[in-house]
């Protein structure tokens, strides 16, 4: 299984130093299988499913973490046939201070207030600490990224902002799409 496009939404919580994520990955199943193996480190998967193009969603029945290899195996109750489809994963993680993946960075405002920012460091293989993915330099895919942040904060990316709108579940948040 390999990725075509990642549609990723990350929602950092700068008070609890955690984050929630939703991933929808357009993927190509190259050989029939009942498992999908991805890179994953310091992430807890809540739910996962795969929907073959034009067919019903198949929910994963288990997640087997191989922590030493920084991988997770998603197990499915039936065989995923060759072709394209959509892999959906809901997950949570910690905004740690290890300067890898999706982490927190401390700064002081001109008024002397200590604040934190959620920042990323994905090269060469640390994207797996922000979201489950195929995190190998030779594996390429496109990205659509959204960040859900407090409306008084700035969301930055090396991609252009496509849209910024109020977040439906909380009037104090905005969703910024890149």
CATH code at 61?
A: 2.60.40.1730
Give every strand in the sheet of 163-166, ordered side by side.
58-59, 43-52, 83-94, 18-29, 2-13, 142-150, 173-177, 163-166
- pLDDT of 40-91, one tens digit each? 999 999 999 999 999 999 999 999 999 999 999 999 999 999 999 999 999 9
Q: Give pTM, 2 decimals.
A: 0.93
User: In this predicted structure, what is the pLDDT of residue 1?
Assistant: 96
| Residue 13, domain extent | 2-94+129-177
Look at residue 100 and tell me whether its pLDDT is greater than 90.
yes
From residue 8, how far is each of 11, 55, 56, 104, 109 by CA, in Å? 10, 22, 22, 19, 30
Average confidence (pLDDT) over 80-108: 97
- pLDDT of 121-130, one tens digit each? 998 889 999 9
Looking at the domain assignment, is residue 166 inside a domain? yes
- pLDDT of 8-19, one tens digit each? 999 999 999 999
Looking at the domain assignment, is residue 108 inside a domain? no
Looking at the domain assignment, is residue 19 inside a domain? yes
Look at residue 137 and tell me whether its pLDDT is greater than 90.
no
How many separate domains does the chain show?
Answer: 1
Q: Name 112's Cβ contacts closer than 8 Å, sequence gap at least 6.
A: none
Band (pLDDT 50/70/90 cuts) for residue 2 is very high
Looking at the domain assignment, is residue 81 inside a domain? yes
Q: What percent of the chain has pLDDT over 90?
A: 95
Q: Mean pLDDT of all residues in the chain?
A: 96
């Amino acid at each position: 299984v390999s990725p075509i496009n990642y549609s990723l939404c990350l929602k950092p919580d700068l008070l609890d130093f955690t984050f929630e994520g939703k991933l929808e990955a357009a993927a190509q199943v190259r050989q029939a299988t009942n498992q999908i193996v991805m890179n994953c480190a310091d992430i807890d998967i809540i739910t996962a499913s795969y929907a073959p193009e034009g067919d019903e969603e198949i929910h994963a029945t288990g997640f087997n973490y191989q922590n030493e290899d920084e991988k997770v195996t998603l197990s499915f109750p039936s065989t995923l046939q060759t072709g394209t489809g959509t892999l959906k994963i809901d997950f949570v993680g910690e905004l740690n201070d290890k300067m890898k993946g999706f982490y927190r960075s401390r700064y002081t405002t001109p008024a002397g207030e200590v604040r934190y920012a959620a920042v990323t460091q994905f090269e060469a293989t640390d994207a797996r600490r922000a979201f489950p993915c195929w995190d190998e330099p030779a594996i390429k895919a496109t990205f659509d990224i959204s960040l859900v942040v407090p409306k008084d904060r700035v969301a930055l990316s090396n991609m252009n902002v496509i849209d910024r709108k109020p977040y439906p579940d909380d009037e104090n948040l905005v969703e910024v799409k890149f």
